[in-house]
Chain A
Amino acid sequence: MNEAIRELLAKVGGLPVAVEQISDEEDLYNAGLSSFASVQLMLGIEDRFDIEFSDQFLNRKSFASIKAIERTVEAILKNNEDA
């Protein structure tokens, strides 16, 4: 999952630095992720993992770092399993 997220981040994140240089915990907004890029990232993740972000996950915190994105995707997948 980490690799897929990094791949999407490289494609739509529009970051001024290479994704390889960003650690899992690093703040993506500080690294240059814009609001619009985070929306594109959200849409890309939905498509890649075949999930849908519910309203509770549509916020900055969900995309604050690669680790945060992983946690969000895992939470959504778990919600889907439980449902």
Chain B
Amino acid sequence: MDAQISFLDRLFSAGLLLDTGVDGLYGRSGRFEDVIAAFERLIDRTGGGDGAEAIRFPPGMNRAIFEKSGYMKSFPQLAGTIHSFCGCELDHVNLIQCMDAGKDWTKEQEATDIVLTPAACYPLYPVIAQRGDLPADGGLFDLQSYCFRHEPSKDPARQQMFRMREYVRMGKADDVMEFRQLWIERGTDIMQRVGLPVHIDVANDPFFGRAGRMLVNNQRDQNLKFELLIPITSTENPTACMSFNYHQDHFGTKWGIQFADGTTVHTACVGFGLERIALALFHHHGLDIEAWPEQVRQELWG
């Protein structure tokens, strides 16, 4: 914990991140954004030739789709919903009085049709399902979105609002497994080129509660999730900077994504935690970008 607070304080002092008063919610400086933009170009150079269809969704998604996705079954503790004032003028007067009195004014807020996006690929699946049958060679999609997870922390590598870049592959089981393996190799190579020490390990999502223990064990037993780990604020507990996920036919079945012959597609995704990667670079190469090793600067800025 001390190492996390110390690194966060150094990032604030250097002006790379800006304190908003909420743990895990930070402003980004131009220099911080330069690193993220450069790393995204590196991702583009690596995966750009694969012909992925680029799609950008805003950081909020359709609540009905979110509900159907089953996210609340697995991760209720992480979800964020958007509520708004929907009252009349009298309600407004009460609201202002309540706020002036320092009382809880949020109880009367009503849920809107939008929830905060928990992972960049969640809005994708129903959109692709709507298009109809998937071609025999499947589909490949390039996504990036701010995501929200309610887990306040002093660890700068565990932010509540952060960007996730993703490639999503839809296809036959063998094709999506091959895609996942390719990106495990590519991800390891990219990180080594920018001077970051990595290792790959089997992983699990933070499923909620006792029932979640079983989902965790199932996920690990079946090797459905791998993470690329880089030490940032701890060498014992390195930070997951990329994840490689095989969803089997979970999303295909959920959203009815099929091939023309009626078989359900399998899906896999690779995710880059962009802020975490930038933080790993700052941790390993120092807070002064000008002083980073020449080879790293060359890889990022050419």
Residues on A lying within 8 angstroms of B by beta carbon are 34-36, 38-39, 42-43, 53, 55, 58-61
Contacts and interface: CB of A to CB of B under 8 A. Distances in A.
Contacts of B213: 55, 58
B221 A59 contact: yes
Given A55-B213, A58-B213, A36 B73 contact: yes
A43 B210 CA distance: 10
Contacts, number: 31
A42 B221 contact: no
26 contacts: A34-B250, A35-B214, A35-B215, A35-B218, A36-B70, A36-B73, A38-B214, A38-B218, A39-B211, A39-B214, A39-B215, A42-B211, A42-B214, A43-B211, A55-B217, A58-B210, A58-B213, A58-B214, A58-B217, A59-B214, A59-B217, A59-B218, A60-B217, A60-B218, A60-B221, A60-B222
Nearest to A32: B253
B247 to A, nearest CB: 11
B255 to A, nearest CB: 15
Size class of B's contact patch?
A: 10 to 19
Nearest to B70: A36
Contacts of B217: 55, 58-60
Interface in B34-72: 70
Interface string B202-221: 00000000110111011001
A38 B215 CA distance: 9
A55 B215 CA distance: 11
Given A42-B211, A53-B214, A55-B217, 15 more contacts: A34-B250, A35-B250, A36-B70, A38-B214, A38-B218, A39-B211, A42-B214, A43-B211, A58-B213, A58-B214, A59-B218, A59-B221, A60-B217, A60-B221, A60-B222
B294 to A, nearest CB: 48
B126 to A, nearest CB: 19
Contacts of A61: 221
A36 to B, nearest CB: 6
B19 to A, nearest CB: 40
A80 B128 CA distance: 50
Contacts of A42: 211, 214
Interface in B158-216: 210-211, 213-215
A35 B218 CA distance: 8
Interchain residue pairs A-B with the least CB separation, the first 3: A58-B214, A59-B217, A39-B211
